[in-house]
Chain A
Amino acid sequence: RKEVEQDPGPFNVPEGATVAFNCTYSNSASQSFFWYRQDCRKEPKLLMSVYSSGNEDGRFTAQLNRASQYISLLIRDSKLSDSATYLCVVTLYNNNDMRFGAGTRLTVKP
């Protein structure tokens, strides 16, 4: 079993749609959680950190469920510019070793 698993995708949605991605992690001692965004043939960039209480940044909402060992990302009112691959990232207990999910590809269409 992979340490970090994401929805397989791809997700193809119309502009204005709401879309949600889930990610599960296997190591219960995982400490920190993030969502990164990666555009085609570019480097990953931090989208948002994920806090235990959940957090929101504009149209993006991230949730963490430690008991079930999953994190989620909700994107409301999708824009064409949201088209990218979204990477779920978990740091292990020593906080020095980040594990990335394989990513979920999102395409927002006009």
Chain B
Amino acid sequence: AQKVTQAQTEISVVEKEDVTLDCVYETRDTTYYLFWYKQPPSGELVFLIRRNSFDEQNEISGRYSWNFQKSTSSFNFTITASQVVDSAVYFCALSDLLVVGRDDKIIFGKGTRLHILP
């Protein structure tokens, strides 16, 4: 069965600190996608990144970076030099579909609430 675990329910850090949000997943598939989404206090959902299981290269986008390690089934998200605007709930998700036509499902973790304190 597929599963996504975000063990950190809530994290608080002081502005400008770096923070890493953990995501551990379980799947029997060899091909899959991993995602991160952000939900700020205003409530909308924002797609941050999609990574396929063939690509283990780390990705950096501005202050955001993602570390994908198949060996530990983890897809961790780091915010460098955090800002108050980064305060949000962050969700990690897993999808087992890479081939059009197969059933696809997206499994979410329970989210990590991140507080950036000024």
- Is B truly associated with A? no
